[in-house]
Chains A and B, each alone.
Chain A
Amino acid sequence: MGRFRKKKHNASMNITSLMDVLTIMLLFLLKNYSADGSILTNADNLVLPNSESKKKPTEVNLQIAVTQDMILLDNQAVVPTEDARNISQEENDPIITKLEERLKVCLAQEEEMVRLGALNAVQGRVIVQVDKNIDFDVLFKIMNTCGKSGYNNMNFAVMERDDG
Chain B
Amino acid sequence: MANKLKAPDVEPTDVDLKVFMNLMVVLIPMLIVSAEFASVAIIDIKLPEQRGSQTKSAVTEQPQEEKAEKLLLTAIITDSVVTLGAKGGFMPSLFYQEFHRYITREKDLDTLLEYTPGKMPNHPRTGRELTVHERFEIYLYTVEPETRNIIRSLYTKFGEMLTDADGIPVREVKAGDTVFALTNPRRRMIVTNPGDFESKPLSAYDELKNRLMKIKERYREAEDGEDIIIAAENEVIYDKIVQIMDAARNAEFPNISIAKLRG
Contacts and interface: CB of A to CB of B under 8 A. Distances in A.
Interface of A: 12, 14-16, 18-19, 22-23, 25-26, 29-30, 32-35, 37-40, 44-45, 47-57, 68, 89, 92-93, 127, 130-137, 139-140, 143-144, 146-147, 152, 154-160
Contacts of A38: 36, 40
B42 A53 contact: yes
Contact of B43 (A26, A30, A55, A152): A55
Interface in B29-59: 31-32, 34-48, 53-55
Contacts of B38: 40, 159-160
B7 interface: no
B239 A49 contact: yes
Contacts of A143: 47-48, 258
B237 interface: yes
Across the A-B interface, give the 3 residue pairs with the lowest CB-CB distance, nearest first.
Answer: A29-B31, A137-B234, A132-B239
B236 to A, nearest CB: 4
A21 to B, nearest CB: 10
Contacts, number: 159
Contact of A52 (B14, B44, B238, B249): B249
A37 B32 CA distance: 12
Interface of B: 14, 17, 20-21, 24, 27-28, 31-32, 34-48, 53-55, 132-133, 135, 137, 232-239, 241-243, 245-246, 249-250, 258, 260, 263
Given A49-B239, A158-B242, A133 B42 contact: no
Nearest to B42: A155
A34 B39 contact: yes
B40, B133, B137, B233 pick with most chain A CB within 10 angstroms: B40
B36 A155 contact: no
28 contacts: A12-B14, A14-B14, A22-B21, A22-B24, A29-B35, A30-B31, A33-B31, A33-B36, A45-B133, A49-B239, A51-B242, A51-B243, A53-B41, A53-B43, A53-B249, A57-B41, A57-B42, A127-B42, A131-B238, A133-B133, A133-B135, A133-B239, A136-B235, A158-B40, A159-B38, A159-B41, A160-B38, A160-B40
B42 A156 contact: yes
B238 A49 contact: yes
B28 A39 contact: no
Contacts of A92: 53
B43 A51 contact: yes
B41 A158 contact: yes
Nearest to B137: A50
A139 B44 contact: no
Q: Which of A131, A134, A156: most chain B CB closer than 10 A?
A: A156
Nearest to A162: B38
A94 B124 CA distance: 40
Contacts of A159: 38-41
A34 B34 contact: yes
